[in-house]
Structure 1
């Protein structure tokens, strides 16, 4: 069992993981030595534990009462300082992705002599780079300070985006690929940071807020930037499509600098939290049975992630749900002009409702999971069902207004993706396992988005019948996987409740066991949120 002792030099030794050696196999023999700012004593922690363990042990003995009122005040403070910057990052990164779609109707295809499926490959190239670099990016974010590493990625991708205004087709494809490699860091970093600050039940709404800020990216990109560039294009010395890349790239670089100085790597490093606040944050997240993270790659957790059937259910959902997404992200503007008959200026304005529906709709569904029916999987499947109905309308309605309404409804589809991002954050424990499942999930996302543009066949313009049938088919399949994931978590919790044992009681008595970097399968006290 766990033990603590004081030797003649008044050194406190905590062995927080020895209780797991017999059942889980011998863990890494790691000893971390810190000096407690509270007692002034040297503290040694044995076992390869979570970063939060060091903070918890260093501040042992500092009693802070976390009342309901103080908890609400602290949550508001975290939201105020953290969420606007993360939401703005996701807004900008989606605006960066859509810059390709806007440019496609403002002269990009003509100026770069694109014919046949050449434009489709500008969309697929981005996700090819994303796919290749997803796991290395995830590993870098685990190994190095997460916010600082992410900010370096952000500044670099802003610079690459600005360079999109320079090359011919081959260079443009190369830049799209590099851009995808760099943007592969954003979702993982946001998810790690969110998981450090919020309880399980709070994660879904926060992930929905920053992910659905994609909708704000549509509103700003199409309405505030692209439309005004077209409207005043005679006042510019270079083509509007080139200016789109220059403007969005420069905004991204500025945000990367802000991210570097403002966003902490862990709550312990948050400049806007007092020492007492930091202790309360640690106490708040104990209920997650997880901490801040662990910088060491653990092969056992990696293998567990690969052998967990839920990993592959989650991967399958990401794959099938993002085939429609990849097509609509890159061909949304083209559908507006070729299928619905709008002028380029009208097409840019008509995309604003898409952003409104995604931001307001997805946020409302996540809000409902906190205050109405308290099940995020319920609201995810509900929202996805509405989106699939919209996809059927887009594919099979003869009336153009009904098709347009269907296109708008399909922008509720991200609610399922948002839900599973929050599921990974709260339901996958063990930092290496979490990073691995994140990477696999986003690889599925990449492959789906890579395939999506290829379903839009140039010879089928302007109706793109094959693409619309694929959108309906894969959207429906993704809904089936959502139900399967929901059932899997419900069943597992039932089994754990039924088989509750004395080992759980013993584990609960061990101080700071929540921060021992155990996986959800190793930790007998862990329960899944659905």
Structure 2
């Protein structure tokens, strides 16, 4: 379409030089990443306001009893679960930038309205709509990442160990915002709670972050393009190059066409279900600790303001875990083993929290155990990246993302229910369950890696049967002269922009 618009042949061979590739990547990063990081930071922060509010009297002021506070943590993810399949359709059919910004605006308004929620019913209603509107951010950002960035960066022979630097790094960067939420959110909350006002501290927190979210949604509406062909920060020539540099992804860009065959293939695909179960098992402890973590700290750090400040080093450890896991994934060119390694410290941490009494006397060892939990934050973005980079076909990509986020939402619903205020301060049931979930993830990682190896072997056999080479050469960034020395059947990318799935495309190579 862009070639025709510029009066050029649609059959023209486009070559992207390394210099152009680096230049366009910088422009994409500068234009899109600040928006994505800001929105994801606010999403994590807006959900975390509940745990901050619990420290400043929300539970007592709204007369919450039994597991009602647990349900306030879970209802957000129940709403997100219900929204995933409609969102999968919407992200295929609607302009992704405009749609996402509208949802950001709606959740900002909802959070601000929570200022005047005074009982369990009102809080539940507000939290439900907060979750419904926030539900689009994760799937939309995965789709945007697939639309703009490569899943691989290093040239050469394309094997299962090829680097997947661009997408992994970008997904890891916006997921790092969860950790920065604990850092800056805690500091901002500390300041807001110190304001002398007729409003309660938690009401000020809800109102402030709600208004900030509304402002950011306006910036996103005007600056986030719906596709590379609609990017105002790229010239027409650069738009062509931005699309061409994605050829190696073998995923296309977008089609705005809903394909039921892709939908049903996503439902039948074993690897999709392995990632759904994996993300469920990680999300159970993730939201349980996110919701009840400050209360666990409060059991041996009695001052609410000190409890808030203790979240700062916890947040820094989250950022460190996500950053180091993303770097390790790029360095060693694998994801499964990294996920397995990240499961070990939380198992140790939960065991410490389970074994020692939650009192001031054991504060040091309990804090050490609590910090061990931080590595779990590096697992979730690796699962998102792992699933996204191994799925092709526009409708299938959106459906797979929806299924993975349904698994995440289901785990986040279940997680806080394992912890109830009645079990304070030990929360032994939740801690035992979380140990079991992390152990199960170790098993799932092994099964998934073996299955991906089998799929690569099967695709190699299919290529041979079609008269192609079993090994594919990635030549998309080479010069025309260098491409002349390669047999046409050895050149990868002929089906790169066809809207076909990873299982249909024998040239697709799965990454571990």
When normalised by structure 1's length, the TM-score is 0.85
Between the aligned partners of 2:18 and 2:6, the Cα distance in structure 1 is 25
Between the aligned partners of 1:386 and 1:70, the Cα distance in structure 2 is 42
Match in the other structure for 2:270: 309
1:42-93 superposed Cα distances (whole Å, 9 cap, x missing partner): xxxxxxxxxxxxxxx3xx53x6542223322222222222112111111110
Query: Among 106, 114, 123, which residue is 2:64 paired with?
Result: 114
Match in the other structure for 2:448: 485
Match in the other structure for 2:380: 417
Match in the other structure for 2:172: 208
Deviation at 1:38, TM superposition (A): 2.6
Q: Is 1:192 matched with 2:143?
A: yes
Q: Is 1:385 matched with 2:344?
A: yes
- Other structure's SS at 2:242 match: helix
CA contact under 8 A between 1:134 and 1:181: conserved in structure 2? Answer: no
Q: Is 1:358 matched with 2:318?
A: yes
Query: Among 42, 51, 62, which residue is 1:101 paired with?
Result: 51
Between the aligned partners of 1:488 and 1:392, the Cα distance in structure 2 is 32
Between the aligned partners of 1:172 and 1:508, the Cα distance in structure 2 is 59
Between the aligned partners of 1:287 and 1:379, the Cα distance in structure 2 is 24
Deviation at 1:362, TM superposition (A): 0.8
Any residues of structure 2 matched to 1:130-141 within 5 Å, and which? 130-141=80-91
Moved more, 292-301 or 207-216: 292-301
Deviation at 1:507, TM superposition (A): 7.6
CA contact under 8 A between 2:297 and 2:307: conserved in structure 1? Answer: yes
Q: Is 1:367 matched with 2:318?
A: no
List runs of 5+ in structure 1 lacking aligned partners: 1-32, 42-56
Match in the other structure for 1:436: 399
CA contact under 8 A between 1:161 and 1:248: conserved in structure 2? Answer: yes
Any residues of structure 2 matched to 1:4-153 within 5 Å, and which? 36-39=4-7, 57=10, 60-61=11-12, 65-153=15-103
Query: Among 238, 244, 266, which residue is 1:277 paired with?
Result: 238
- Other structure's SS at 1:36 match: helix
When normalised by structure 2's length, the TM-score is 0.88
Match in the other structure for 2:289: 328
CA contact under 8 A between 1:204 and 1:376: conserved in structure 2? Answer: no
CA contact under 8 A between 1:429 and 1:518: conserved in structure 2? Answer: yes
CA contact under 8 A between 1:294 and 1:517: conserved in structure 2? Answer: yes
CA contact under 8 A between 1:424 and 1:434: conserved in structure 2? Answer: no
Between the aligned partners of 1:490 and 1:397, the Cα distance in structure 2 is 43
Match in the other structure for 1:53: none
Q: Is 1:496 matched with 2:445?
A: no
Show structure 1 runs of 4+ deviating over 6 A. Answer: 506-511
Between the aligned partners of 1:281 and 1:343, the Cα distance in structure 2 is 53
CA contact under 8 A between 1:390 and 1:406: conserved in structure 2? Answer: yes
Between the aligned partners of 1:40 and 1:66, the Cα distance in structure 2 is 17
CA contact under 8 A between 1:218 and 1:352: conserved in structure 2? Answer: yes
Aligned length: 475
Between the aligned partners of 2:235 and 2:81, the Cα distance in structure 1 is 40
CA contact under 8 A between 1:198 and 1:285: conserved in structure 2? Answer: yes
Between the aligned partners of 2:501 and 2:432, the Cα distance in structure 1 is 40
CA contact under 8 A between 2:272 and 2:387: conserved in structure 1? Answer: no
